[in-house]
A and B are shown apart, each in its own frame.
Chain A
Amino acid sequence: MDVASSATAAASVLTGARSMASGRGPSCLEANDWICGEYLRTRSQELVDATVQHVGITVVSVLIGLLVAFPLALLARRRRGAAGPVLGLTTVLYTVPSLAMFALLTPVFGVSPAVVVTGLVMYSLTILVRNILAGLEAVPAEVREAARGMGYGSARLLFEVELPLALPALVAGLRIATVSTVAMTTIGSVVGYGGLGNLIASGMEGFFKAEVLTASVLCVLLALVADLLLMGLQRLLTPWTRGRARAGGRLRRTAGAAKAVG
């Protein structure tokens, strides 16, 4: 015991002497600075692992959300009676605070990533269902008629005409859902699967400022990168919207006027 403590004391004296010798003062890890390059260097593996987990949880959640939201939106469009309950239920789910949602799902799935993913899927549904529905409903009736007249069946009409036209609204929803999912994944740290949120939680317990700030900044950066990637994806998928952007204002105004007359 004595030997160990005297050894650490000696070590700290040594590091102190060394830092004094090099004229840099105590290292930023010892000083518990908010910004610390040494932290980035020594814990890079930890940061990479957390980021990978964060991205994984987000991507899986949003993809499952999209897969669930699409049939729900189609159902809500097909049957007027289903639209109210579907939108109402997703809104109720959205109102439940995330901590409570994860807590309620814990007895169902045990302490596992499934808790976090399921909760995040439920949140993404609200935005995705609404935006897909809005996009599909915005397809002009004439376009639909023309396609039908050309002999398009309902499946081909959906996937080749309606879905491409609904894509801008869908991607707008996807971007919002993704950005909020990235932010909300951090709360998964209550069950130990929060990606960068785990680092924020452990940094809080250890009063480790650099860890908390680095993880927080990375989290915001992740959200921004995801948003930009999805924006780029939309540009690629809907090249026809690019040329129209300038003429769009005029078109829209004429459409509004027509509606007011009709």
Chain B
Amino acid sequence: MDAITGAWQWLTTAANWAGEKGVWHRLGEHLYLSGLCLLISCLIALPVALWLGHLGKGGALAVNLSNVGRAVPTFAVLVLLTLSPLGTHGDWPTIIALVLFAVPPLLTNAYLGMREADRDVVEAARGMGMSGPQLLLRVEIPLAYPLIMTGLRSAAVQVVATATLAALAGGGGLGRIITAGFGNYDTAQVVAGAVLVAVLALTVEGALVLVDRGCDPMRGRRRGAKGPRTGGEGPTSRGAGRLDGAEEARTDGGAGGDGQTGGEEVAAVRKPA
């Protein structure tokens, strides 16, 4: 209880919010770094994933990238980059680490989304005479949209979490409040910083869920498919929310790259559900 009242007092003290080490400044650093890195990661990962998905190549790369990324400790990468010659160049170690950890979820999910777009629909569109770019923009990307957004969401959460860890390696951001608290044995500050970080992460996740719903290119049609055409079973009837659970199992499924043992089991059974 002490810690909670202490944290509340810390958070309600105006002095803790102002200045170079204040919450506003740290929040600004955190958001700036996260936003910048998410943008760079999207610019790198999405074109590659959409292109590979369109061609239907490089699946092993896209899936294994995620698995390798999971095995590499964020903390280790941050410290290694800080000790490398790059360490003297301000925020660069942090930016590179953030991008490295945001690319795999974006790439893997977008690629899987492209590959899981209903082949029959894609074939039909090709049969209707759509060109490659038309197919990509008007059929495959809209169908892959739910998974692309899932990738974006997990990348954003990852970036916010990694930016917090940057404080351990001497970077800025809200994590600094926590590490400073640990350094001064100030439990109130540690808890207050942790609450701020947790609230930020959950807010980012929540905001992206809303963006996801608002921008869904298939929004009207997905809902329509449930109504009159009762037989609508294809990917069009999978709402974004519904996919949430299934897709986690599917992206996680390919762990270790030997799909046929565990991973595809999940994917295969999850799809008709």
Binding site for B on A (CB under 8 A): 87, 92, 95-101, 103-104, 106-107, 127, 130-131, 134-135, 137-138, 168-169, 171-173, 175-176, 179-180, 182-184, 186-187, 189-191, 197, 200-201, 203-204, 207, 209, 212-213, 215-216, 219-220, 223-224, 227, 231, 234-235, 241, 245, 248, 252, 255-256, 259-260
Contacts and interface: CB of A to CB of B under 8 A. Distances in A.
A149 to B, nearest CB: 23
B252 A219 contact: no
A134 B205 contact: no
A97 B198 contact: yes
B164 A99 contact: yes
A101 B178 CA distance: 11
A215 B75 CA distance: 11
Contact of B167 (A99, A168, A203): A99
Interface string B45-70: 00000000000000000000001001
Identify which of A183, A231, A256 gathers the most chain B CB atoms within 10 Å of its CB: A183
Contacts, number: 199
Given A180-B70, A201-B168, A100 B79 contact: no
B139 interface: no
A100 B157 CA distance: 13
Residue with the greatest number of chain B CB neighbours at <10 A, chosen from A104, A180, A182, A215: A104
Contacts of A103: 178, 181-182, 190-191, 193-194, 197
Interface of B: 2-3, 67, 70-77, 79-80, 82-83, 157, 160-161, 164-165, 167-169, 175, 178-179, 181-182, 187, 190-191, 193-195, 197-198, 201-202, 205, 233, 245, 248-249, 252-253, 255-256, 258, 260-266, 268-273
A131 B70 CA distance: 17
A184 B187 contact: no
Given A99-B168, A100-B198, 17 more contacts: A87-B245, A95-B202, A99-B161, A100-B178, A100-B194, A101-B198, A106-B187, A131-B266, A135-B266, A137-B273, A138-B270, A169-B269, A176-B252, A182-B73, A227-B255, A241-B260, A248-B264
Nearest to A188: B75
A22 to B, nearest CB: 28
Contacts of B268: 252, 255
Nearest to B157: A95
A132 B228 CA distance: 35
Contact of A220 (B71, B187, B197, B262): B71
Contacts of B252: 127, 130-131, 172-173, 176
Contacts of B194: 99-101, 103-104
A219 B77 CA distance: 11
Contacts of A97: 160-161, 164-165, 175, 197-198, 201
Contact of A183 (B71, B205, B255, B269): B71
A223 B71 contact: yes
14 contacts: A99-B165, A99-B179, A100-B164, A100-B201, A127-B248, A130-B248, A134-B245, A134-B249, A169-B269, A179-B70, A203-B79, A204-B82, A216-B73, A256-B272
A241 B72 contact: no
B261 A186 contact: no
A17 to B, nearest CB: 30
Contact of B83 (A197, A212, A223, A231): A212
A212 B75 CA distance: 10
Contact of A235 (B76, B169, B261): B261
B108 to A, nearest CB: 13
A141 B84 CA distance: 57
Find the residue from B169, B245, B252, B270 having the highest chain A CB count within 10 A. Answer: B252
A261 to B, nearest CB: 10
Nearest to A139: B269
Contacts of B258: 231
B187 A107 contact: yes
A222 to B, nearest CB: 9
Given A107-B187, A223-B71, A212 B3 contact: no
Nearest to A97: B161
Nearest to A228: B256
B75 A189 contact: yes
Contacts of B201: 95-97, 100
A183 B273 CA distance: 32
B187 to A, nearest CB: 5
Given A172-B253, A204-B169, A235-B261, A187 B75 contact: yes
